[in-house]
Copies of this chain bind each other. A is one copy, B any other.
Amino acid sequence: MSSSVLVVGTVAFDTVRTPFGAEEEVLGGSATYFSMAASFFTQVRLVAPVGEDFRDSDAKPLRDRGVDLSGLMRIPGRTFRWEGEYGYDLNTAKTLRTELGVLATFDPRLTDAMRGAEFVFLANVDPEIQTQVLEQVTRPRFVACDTMNFWIEGKPEALRRTLGKVDALLINDAEARELAGEPNLVRAAAAIRRMGPATVVVKRGEYGAVMFSESGVFGVPAYPLESVLDPTGAGDSFAGGFMGHLARDGRLSPESFRQAVVLGSVMASLNVEDFSLKRLARTTDEEIRKRYRDFRDLTGFAEIA
């Protein structure tokens, strides 16, 4: 009895350079990476704007994964564009250029089917858009969101309103500290939990992830990869694995949250092994199960006498 997941976020054309190659004007965006990753677990319904320059064929990777694209709204203007660069330290992207395009005027309208969504992910967009979407969903069972420094600094009140209505926040390490105004991560997570989300998942790139919730703290290292080609979309792939598992599993138990963090890590670790969506597009269910087992091998240790 798997529930579907509704995601609102961006669909973009990305131009990315890493020390290992470059891609120009390829499909990207937070809702795209999220949907690709979550599609391995359950039905995904995507809500995002694209411009008149977006062709049907551009959405092929999402269509191939069975993502419901009825919420992909083509509106006047150009599709959102992001251009970024990574150095040998692949942990942080340097944004070279963003072109908001249709994002600037995006006014999300959900269909009735979408309003009935039980699992909702508000990817990293303007917190006012996040709230607009959430107000249209009639009785969500579990809502998570992401955000970034741009909104933490630029729209703090709107972000607080979003945070007051979500069950979980998935956020980068540095941004968690910034949002809480607190350098210690344990205290930062506690402060964020007081803002609303009962669960805070801190994404730490190549260092893994830590989840803070009422059932305590759970930490998992990142999967040690010999070859990382393009970190773009790692956080959204993480969110896709995390939400996808929760929706498929349905229990929302402490155990399923821990599995969700690991499956988020699994999807992120797969995603960065190739440029753009290439790796997720060729991923199989068996590879996901295999890497999940690898995570258990990576982290398991015995009691001491």
Contact = CB atoms under 8 A, between A and B. Distances in A.
B186 A219 contact: no
A224 B302 contact: no
A57 interface: no
Is chain A's binding surface mostly helix, strand, loop or mixed?
mixed
Contact of A259 (B207, B219, B304): B304
A179 to B, nearest CB: 16
Given A298-B217, A299-B299, A224 B304 contact: no
Interface size of A as a range: 35 or more
12 contacts: A184-B225, A186-B224, A207-B207, A208-B219, A216-B298, A217-B224, A217-B298, A219-B298, A220-B301, A258-B302, A261-B301, A299-B301
Nearest to A205: B207
Given A89-B183, A221-B221, 11 more contacts: A184-B225, A184-B227, A184-B228, A208-B221, A210-B224, A218-B301, A255-B301, A255-B302, A258-B300, A259-B302, A259-B304
This chain's copy number in the assembly: 2
A93 to B, nearest CB: 16
A34 interface: no
Nearest to A187: B226
Interface stretch (A59-67, A100-108, A289-297): A289-297
A244 to B, nearest CB: 12
Contacts of A255: 301-302
Nearest first, the 7 closest Cβ-Cβ pairs linking A and B are A219-B221, A207-B207, A258-B301, A88-B183, A186-B226, A186-B224, A217-B224
A89 B174 CA distance: 11
A206 interface: yes
